[in-house]
Amino acid sequence: MATTEPEIVEMPDLAGQWTRIKGRLQADVGEVEYRTWLRQITLADLDGDEITVTLPTRFLRDWVSSRYGDRLRAMWQSENPSIRRVDIRVGAGLPRQTPLMTETPFVPSHPVEDLRREPPVPARPVVGVATPAWQDDRSEPRSDLAAPLDARFTFEGFVVGKPNEFAYACARRVAERPSSPGFNPLFLYGGVGLGKTHLMHSIAWELTDRTNNPVSVAYMSAEKFMYRFIAAIRSQSTMEFKENLRSVDVLMIDDLQFLIGKDNTQEEFFHTFNYLVEQGKQIVVSADKSPSDLNGLEQRLRTRLGCGMVADLHSTTYELRISILEAKAARAGVDVPAKVLEFLAHKITSNVRELEGALNRLVAHANLFGRPVTLETTHEVLHDILKAHDRRVTIEEIQKKVAEHYSIRLTDMSSARRARAVARPRQVAMYLAKQLTSRSLPEIGRKFGNRDHTTVMHAVSRVTELMERDGTFAEDVELLRRLMES
């Protein structure tokens, strides 16, 4: 009797036990952490006193076993006393749902790409354009007409600030009431990585998600549009192509500049465009320039494109970059010190995609090694990105940045004033000039109101000393140094 006891305990409801364990884990670690790391654990096998669970990647396996291995074992034991060991393995056959886990972004030399901490809902093709005609076209899957939408690109996930508030408002408006007079077509333009695609997807999500009166939306890049068109010509199905395209309520074409020089495709797009607008259907287009600046696009098309609402996404400001970083860090559930966010927002000014990539890498690194994010680790982890953003720094720039930082006048860098509030920042600037440029002490002295080289020497040793004594001051100087380092 006694020997069969374990079987009696374990057989009845392994699945139920597992469900309870997952529930407890989730309650234990919180929703975000659970979704990020634990959701994909699958119960694989029970062999004697050993339970086997699997994860889809080696990275996830290592991470889960080092961070949650003991807890998992304890939970299993309390659910099912016959289990003594938990084997955590890499198991095949699970869909790769979480790019964060399956990419290898932790090698510093790896290019920064979309690292999604929050496992996205699987991308879903937009609705309403599924017709048998498209499915018959075997040269391409149906989803090619309407490209899948990125689950992260929603209005909720879009951080609004001065540079993009107008474009955002227009996008919102179109999503609420498509084909309103004055908003058709909606033309969004701006530089790379400023949120055009994000806003377009947001509109599409909103429209296709509506419960009452959902509309059919086709979103695709201009490149895809051309590709479809050419494929249709080749397979002699242009009629179908046209009909299908003309049957949608909302047509969205991303990166229209791609059609420059592609005259036939432009022509086709122009006719589709006119047809849809005449039928009271909404068009949304994005491009890197305003309609009037899209040289190489046919004049009549440019004119029509500019007829509705034209909204541009301006380059980000420091404030917007900070807000975006804050929002994304909060969403990732990782505590990133304000100093690090400020540093990133200062350093990576080109576009949001890069900013996001840098933050994602930091977050992933913090999770992987279980270390908090600091300026130090930031520098380490983002070494390659930061280098790309570096440039030669001049004494003038140092003076300017330091003056800004301490809110003193630039002229005080060379003035004779000796009040501490002015003298200390001046010393910091001298110290940084010594650290970051190849100028000699006399040269540096001259730039600071013709001071003697011994003054510079004194400043350097004073700042060094203070940095050793005062952690906050040291961090401050360190931040400044990293902002300007070449």
Q: Which residues bind ligand ADP (CB under 6 A)?
A: 153, 157-159, 164, 190, 192-198, 324, 352-353, 356
Q: Pick one of ligand ADP, Mg ion, none as the site partner of residue 61 (Cβ within 5 to 8 A by kind).
A: none
Residue 258 beta carbon to ligand ADP: minimum distance, rounded to whole angstroms: 12
CB of 197 or CB of 399, closer to ligand ADP: 197
164 binds Mg ion (CB under 5 A): no
Binding mask 191-210 for Mg ion (x = CB under 5 A): -----xx-------------
Sign, CA torsion 442/447/452/453: negative
Residue 255 beta carbon to Mg ion: minimum distance, rounded to whole angstroms: 6
Q: Pick one of Mg ion, ligand ADP, none as the site partner of residue 402 (Cβ within 5 to 8 A by kind).
A: none
Reading the block at residue 84, the tokens are 């003594």
C-beta separation of 100 from 359 below 8 A? no
Q: Reply yes or no: is the peptide bond before residue 185 cis, omega within 30 of 0.
A: yes
Residue 315 beta carbon to ligand ADP: minimum distance, rounded to whole angstroms: 11
DSSP-derived 3-state class of residue 14: helix
What does the DSSP 8-state code read for residue 465? H
Residue 105 beta carbon to ligand ADP: minimum distance, rounded to whole angstroms: 15
CB of 204 or CB of 393, closer to ligand ADP: 204
Q: Pick one of ligand ADP, Mg ion, none as the site partner of residue 164 (Cβ within 5 to 8 A by kind).
A: ligand ADP
- From the list 1, 2, 37, 7, the residue with the least C-alpha distance to 22 is 37
Residue 328 beta carbon to Mg ion: minimum distance, rounded to whole angstroms: 18
CA distance 266 to 296: 10
CB of 196 or CB of 346, closer to ligand ADP: 196
360 binds Mg ion (CB under 5 A): no
Residue 457 beta carbon to Mg ion: minimum distance, rounded to whole angstroms: 53
Torsion of CA 451, 457, 463, 466, to 10 degrees: -120
Q: Pick one of ligand ADP, Mg ion, none as the site partner of residue 399 (Cβ within 5 to 8 A by kind).
A: none
Strand partners, 46: 51
- From the list 272, 210, 268, the residue with the least C-alpha distance to 247 is 272
CB of 200 or CB of 373, closer to ligand ADP: 200
Largest CA distance in the chain: 97
- From the list 130, 146, 133, the residue with the least C-alpha distance to 251 is 146
CB of 160 or CB of 457, closer to ligand ADP: 160
Q: Pick one of Mg ion, ligand ADP, none as the site partner of residue 444 (Cβ within 5 to 8 A by kind).
A: none
Residue whose token pair is 């996930």: 157
Which residue's CB comes closest to Mg ion? Answer: 197
Residue 160 beta carbon to ligand ADP: minimum distance, rounded to whole angstroms: 7
Residue 193 has phi, psi (to 5 degrees) of 70, 25
Which stretches of 177-262 are DSSP H helices? 196-209, 222-234, 238-246
The residues that touch Mg ion, with contacts defined as CB under 5 A, are 196-197
